[in-house]
Amino acid sequence: MATIIEVAKVAGVSKATVSRVLSGKGYVSEEKREKVFQAIAETGFRPNLLARNLATKSSQTIGLVITNTLYSGSYFTELMQHSARIMEQQGRQLLLVDGKHSAEEERAAIQFLLDLRCDGVIIYPRFLTIDEMDAIIAQHQHPILVINRRLRQHDSYCIYSDQQHTSAVAVEKLIALGHRDIAFITGSLDSPTGRERLAGYKSALAQHQIPLQESLIIEGKWQAQNGVAAVETLLKQCSSFSALVASNDDMAVGALKALASHNIAVPAQVSVLGFDDIPLAPFTVPSLSSVKMPVTDMIQETLARLISMLDGGEMRNRQIFAGEIMMRESIGPGPFA
C-alpha cells in the first residue's frame, strides 16, 4: 500500500505539502496541488482517515444509531432521507449504525461511532432508558442527541413528540364524533412509542369517564398482518366497537382489509384511524385517516441543533413537536353523535 512519502516522491514535493493538500489547510500552489493529485492517482494512495481525524479533531461525520426493527416502513425512510439530504447540504457524511436488540448493543453502537471520531451522534433509542441516556451524554464531550425520548437532565439534547398526548387527542377526536366503544391495536409494547400511544388511549377514555374494556385492546407488532389478526380476534370474541385505532398505518391498512372481508362498512359501521400518515394513506379505499407525526421537522431540528453545538453556537431549549390528525374518509360519526 502506497504511503504519503511515496506520493511526495512521485509528485516531487515535500511530505508536508502532501499533508497540506490532504487536509485542505495551508497554502499550496495550484501547480503543486495538481501534481499531488496526479501522484495519488498513480500510486493508489488512500489516506488514513482515522489518523487524519485525530490530527484535525474533526471528521465531518455525524453518526446515527437506530435499531434494525425500524429499518422498514415510511417512517424510517423519511427519517433517513431528510438526514442524508441535510448532511449533504452541510458537506458532512452520515454514518448509520445498527442498535440491534438490547440496551447494551445500543450503547456499543454509540461507542463505535465515537471511536470512529464522529463529530456528534444521534440516537433513536428503543432499549436504553432515559436515565442511561442522560448518563451517556454526561460521560462524553462529543454531543449525543436523542430523538423521540424526553430526557430529565439534558433538555437541550432531546427532540421529541409527545406520543401519549398526541394519542389522547386522536382518541378524543373520535369521542367528540360520538364513539364510545373504541378498539385499540397497540404497537410493540417493548417500544416506548407503543407504550405511550396505548397510555394516551387509556387517558382519553378516563378523561371522558368511558370505562376501559380490556377486551378491546389487542397487542400488535407494527405489521399489516397484525391489523388483520386484531380484527379477526375482536370479531371472534364478539366485541362491539364503532371505532378502531391502530398504533400505525400499516396495521390500520390490515384492519381495513379484514373489515372489508367481513363486509363491515368503513366508516358507516366502524371508523378507522391510524398513525404516521404513510404516503399510501390517501389512496386506500376508503382513504385512511391518520395522525401525521412531525418526523421531518424533528430531524431538521435535531441536525440544526447538533450542527449549532459543533460550531460553538448556543444551546437551544427543548422543543416539543405535536402530531396532526389528517381527516379522511375512514372516519365518520359514531352512535352517540
Q: What pLDDT, in 10s, does the model give residues 301-333?
A: 888 888 887 777 666 665 678 889 999 999 999
> Which pLDDT score is estimated for 48?
60
**Domain range enclosing 153:** 61-160
Residues 81 and 111 in one domain: yes
> Which pLDDT score is estimated for 54?
47
Question: Amino acid identity, residue 253?
Answer: V
Q: Is residue 324 part of a domain?
A: no
Residues 175 and 278 in one domain: yes
Confidence of residue 72 (pLDDT cuts 50, 70, 90): low
% pLDDT > 70, the chain: 91
Asked if the model's pLDDT at residue 256 lies above 90, the reply is yes
How far apart are alpha carbons 14 and 12 in whole angstroms?
Answer: 7
% pLDDT > 90, the chain: 47
- H-state helical runs in the chain: 4-11, 15-23, 30-43, 49-56, 74-89, 103-115, 130-139, 163-176, 192-207, 224-236, 249-261, 295-310
Confidence of residue 24 (pLDDT cuts 50, 70, 90): low
Q: Which residues, at least 6 apart from 307, have a Cβ–Cβ distance to it below 8 Å? A: 90
How far apart are alpha carbons 133 and 125 in whole angstroms?
Answer: 9
Residues 155 and 182 in one domain: no
User: What is the CATH number for 142?
Assistant: 3.40.50.2300
Q: Is residue 321 part of a domain?
A: no
Residues 39 and 74 in one domain: no
Q: Is residue 146 part of a domain?
A: yes
Residues 283 and 181 in one domain: yes
Range ranked top by mean pLDDT from 42-51, 55-64, 106-115, 230-239: 230-239
Cell numbers for 265: 362498512
- Which DSSP string corresponds to 156-183? GGEEEE-HHHHHHHHHHHHHHTT--SEE
The residue with cell 453545538 is 309
Confidence of residue 8 (pLDDT cuts 50, 70, 90): confident
Q: Is residue 279 part of a domain?
A: yes
Range ranked top by mean pLDDT from 55-64, 123-132, 312-321, 326-335: 326-335
CB 180 within 8 A of CB 335: yes
Residues 139 and 66 in one domain: yes
Nearest to residue 30, comparing CAs of 13, 47, 46? 13
CA torsion, ordered 154, 160, 161, 163, to nearest 10 deg: -80
CA torsion, ordered 265, 245, 247, 252, to nearest 10 deg: 0
